Structure formats: C-alpha cells, structure tokens
Structure 1
Amino acid sequence: MIDHNEKSRIRLRKKPQQERSIQRLEAIMAASIRLLTEKGISGLTMSEIAVQAGIPIGSLYQFFPEKAAIIRALHDNFSKSISDTTTTVFRGVKTREEACDRAVVALAKFHEMFTREPVYLSMWSATLADPDLKQLVASNHDVLITAFLADLGDLVPAEDQERMRASLKLQILSSGEVIRFIAGLPEEQAQLHLGQWQKFVKATLFAV
C-alpha cells in the first residue's frame, strides 16, 4: 500500500481559486500534453514545462511537487474519459448478449481515443515506470470493475462474482496492451487486430 507521504508526491498541491491561478494551471497542463506528445516522457521536465507554460518555475512547484504529480493529473482526466465512456456504452444493458456487443463498441471507442490523443500513449508509459502511479492505475481498474458489476451484476450469479471480477481485471489489462499496440499500426492493420480482439472479448467476457 502507498502511505500518505508517498501519495502526496503525486497530488496537486493546491486547487486554484482565482482566475490567474486557473489560467496558470491550464497553461501547465497544455504545456505538459504538448511536451509528452512531441518528446515523450524523457522530454517532460519541470524546467521545460515552466518554459513552455510561460510561468516561473516557482509557480509550477506551487501546483505540483514533481513531474509524477503532473502525470497523475493527466491520468485523472484520462481515467474520467474511460469511465464516462464505459458508463455510457453499457447503460441500460439487460442481457449478456447485449453486454458483449457493447464491449465491442467500447473497444472501438477506446481505440479512437488513443488514436485521436497520442499523449495517452506517452502518459501510460510514464504511469508504468512509477510505482505510485502504477498503484493508482490498479486502483482505478478496481473502481471501474466495481462500477461494471454494479450495473451488470444481475447477469452474473453470486457464486461467480469473484471469478468475474478476476476475469474483468485480466480483460482490462489485456485490452489496454492491445489498444496501445494497435495505436502505432497503420490503420488497416490496426483495424484487423482490433477486430480480432473484439471477437475474443465478445466470446470470453462472461467466461468464468
């Protein structure tokens, strides 16, 4: 587990209240996205972020204690997009067949997100390289699985709930790797691989 002190290094130090502070935070996030997209995680340094955002380095540290906290803020936005998409896609599902069909739709939407926003690839690599961020990702997976089971739990017998939770965890981890892999392929090849993975997920979503 991560203790309080470790968590503090990946937290926003203060939530901006005044317009000037809000604008500075927005500039920091925009600069971080630009640097990650153009240079990857190696090009994301606190000094370079400050330069790109047009703010003093001291102002940057007022918001974020270190680079990992900025990655966390980007990841929070990314996780919200994933959660919102998942909730929308699976809303109103009544049968397993419907759920499997919606899973295929969700995978296509996640592929679109990674293709449309290349920064997600660099951000994901950064989370895997930091123990605290990696733990945060795992916790977010658990939240997503709990929400999924809350909506679709009636489709899974009580005795299968824990196995379903384990299966969903593996599906999320595997799908993440597939989506990141195909994001770097030419579109025709990406669609081929995506289609094959969609078939696999559809066939195994409720295989417990």
Structure 2
Amino acid sequence: MNDHVREGRLQLRKKPQQERSIQRLEAILEAAIELFLEKGIAQTTMSEVAQRAGISIGSLYQFFPQKAAVIKALHDRFSARLDGFIRQIFIGVKTLEEAADRAADSLIELHDIFRQERIYTTLWQAIVTDRDLGQISADYHEHVITCFYRDLSHLVPESDYQRFRVNLKLMILATGEVIRYATQQEEDVARAHLDQWRRVTRVSLFAY
C-alpha cells in the first residue's frame, strides 16, 4: 500500500478548530476507549462508536475515514504522553552505570503508566495485525531509539555506535513485550517479572 493510501486510511480528516468540534472529537475518542475495553476492537463497529459518543455516523466519518484511524489517534495520544516520560530518562547521565541504573529504575514507572492506560495493551493487539498501523508503531520505536541514542551516545566509543544502536533497539523491543505482559498479570506476578527484567537491563544495556 502506498503512502497516500495509508495516510487516507489513518489520518484525521479534519483538525477541529472550534470548541464544539474539539469536544466532539474528544467524545469520539472517549467512546472508542470505552467500547474497545468493553468489547474488544475487532467487535466494535463505527456505528457503535458514534452512538456511544452521541453523534451521527456521518459526523463520525467527518473526522475518521475508518476504525484504523481511530486506533491511530488513540495511539498518538498515548505516545504523546509517553514521550514526556521517555525524554527525561537519560537526560544528563554521565556514566554507563548511571545510565543502566536509570534504565532499570524507569521500568516500574513505565509499568505504572501502562497500568493506568489499559487501552494501550488493547490497541497494541490491533496494531500488530494491521500493516499500516504496524508501520506507525515501528516508526515510534525508531523515535524512541533516536531519543535514547541522543542522550547516551557520548558514553559509547564512536567505533561501537552501530552495535550499540542495534542493542538499544533490541532492548526497547524486549522491554515493550515485558511491560505488556506484566500489565496483564496480578501485581505480585508483574513485580516478579519486572524485578528480573530490571536486573537484565542493568547488565545488558551496554553489553553490545
């Protein structure tokens, strides 16, 4: 699928400017969250989202061409919140040990964010089965890698940059899986797995 078609599927059709339109968009997204958590994404129809939001199906389609665009909008909203956390993890680190400790300690806070935003685990299950949405997720991973690399590259010899970047990507992908798994478990099971992954992170972040 070319980029033009992909954008047509996934992009918000109009960006609201007036307060009424902003409130309507917010109502759509909140309705989608409720229904996705209640029924699952695959079982939720656009008509149900419109009904829950208290608008006509025509009004819904003025904003979103299809359900995949609603999923993307929610992904973007959650990612924007996550960005603020991600950007501060490694700011100002001066040693490899400090960086490894910060990475390990951030896991608990990251887990808490995912616990509070249960919709993201539901969204992820839909994203991995949709090629276009999957590309958006991959692009966000690259964005995270770029942020981390920017803050950590001064700790790595230039000759090791490429291997470090690959290792960083693998650690980010693996950590995402651990966090998603932990958020679906009882708290004691989640903590046991997170504590173990914290130990792995401390020794593996710079083991390239």
- CA deviation vs aligned residue, 1:64-99 (integer Å, no higher than 9, x gap): 111111110111112122221111222221111111
Alignment-derived partner of residue 202 in structure 1: 202
By how many angstroms is 1:105 displaced?
A: 2.2
By how many angstroms is 1:43 displaced?
A: 3.3
Give the gaps of 5 or more residues in structure 1: none
Structure 2 residue 7 is matched with structure 1 residue 7: yes
SS of residue paired to 1:55: coil
Structure 1 residues 101 and 2: alpha-carbon distance in aligned structure 2, compared to 1, 3 A threshold: farther
| TM-score normalized by the length of structure 2 | 0.96
Query: How large is the RMSD of aligned CA atoms in angstroms?
Result: 1.3
Alignment-derived partner of residue 181 in structure 1: 181
SS of residue paired to 1:129: coil
Total equivalences in the alignment: 208
- CA deviation vs aligned residue, 1:26-51 (integer Å, no higher than 9, x gap): 00011011112222212332111001
8 Å Cα contact 1:14-1:62 kept in structure 2:
yes
d(CA) in 2 for partners of 1:4, 1:153: 35
8 Å Cα contact 1:89-1:105 kept in structure 2:
no
d(CA) in 2 for partners of 1:122, 1:200: 27
Superposition pairs of residues 51-90 of structure 1, within 5 angstroms:
51-90=51-90
By how many angstroms is 1:125 displaced?
A: 0.7
By how many angstroms is 1:161 displaced?
A: 1.2
The runs of at least 4 aligned residues of structure 1 exceeding 2 Å deviation read none
**Identity over the aligned pairs, expressed in percent?**
52
d(CA) in 1 for partners of 2:156, 2:8: 38
Superposition pairs of residues 1-208 of structure 1, within 5 angstroms:
2-208=2-208
By how many angstroms is 1:2 displaced?
A: 4.7
8 Å Cα contact 1:12-1:73 kept in structure 2:
yes
- Residue 102 of structure 2 aligns with an amino acid whose one-letter code is R
- Residue 52 of structure 2 aligns with an amino acid whose one-letter code is Q
d(CA) in 2 for partners of 1:102, 1:141: 19
| TM-score normalized by the length of structure 1 | 0.96
By how many angstroms is 1:8 displaced?
A: 2.1
- Residue 101 of structure 1 aligns with an amino acid whose one-letter code is D
Give the gaps of 5 or more residues in structure 2: none
d(CA) in 2 for partners of 1:122, 1:11: 20
By how many angstroms is 1:112 displaced?
A: 0.5
